[in-house]
Amino acid sequence: MDLPIVCSLSEAELRERRSGLLDSIRGRTVETQPLPNGYAYRFEGSAEVLTLLAQLIALEHQCCRFLTFKLIAEGRNDVVLEVTGSPDAKAIIADFFGTS
């Protein structure tokens, strides 16, 4: 069952999230690949990046329950964050997290 596409953040909270933690993470994206129901974001696997991604997942899980987050630590010292949802959520993921 797909959850409704609703974010519990106010406009001010959303702007703050975008200009803070999310911009920091977006600036570290090495590669973005589309998935059928979202995107996979590849990052250099430093401890700092892992900490930022864990913070982002914890915050987004509270306000955007319609999204699914999967953090994958690969053997190449890279990490991948997959953000997925229903087909209707893909455009929201692209707008919020980026596509490149």
pLDDT tens for residues 62-89?
A: 777 788 999 998 777 899 999 999 888 8
Whether 39 is in a domain gets the answer yes
Whether 5 is in a domain gets the answer no
Whether 37 is in a domain gets the answer yes
How many Å apart are CA 43 and CA 19, to the nearest integer?
A: 19
In this predicted model, what pLDDT tens digit does every residue of 19-57 receive, in sequence order? 677 888 888 999 999 999 999 999 998 999 999 999 888
Whether 2 is in a domain gets the answer no
Whether 1 is in a domain gets the answer no
Look at residue 42 and give its three-state secondary structure: strand
Whether 67 is in a domain gets the answer yes
Whether 41 is in a domain gets the answer yes
Which pLDDT band, with edges at 50, 70 and 90, does 13 fall under?
Answer: low
What CATH number does the domain containing 89 carry?
Answer: 3.30.1360
* pLDDT > 90? residue 92: no
Whether 44 is in a domain gets the answer yes
Q: What pLDDT, on the 0 to 100 scale, is given for residue 23?
A: 82
How many structural domains compose the chain?
Answer: 1
Look at residue 31 and give its three-state secondary structure: strand
Domain that holds residue 61: 11-97
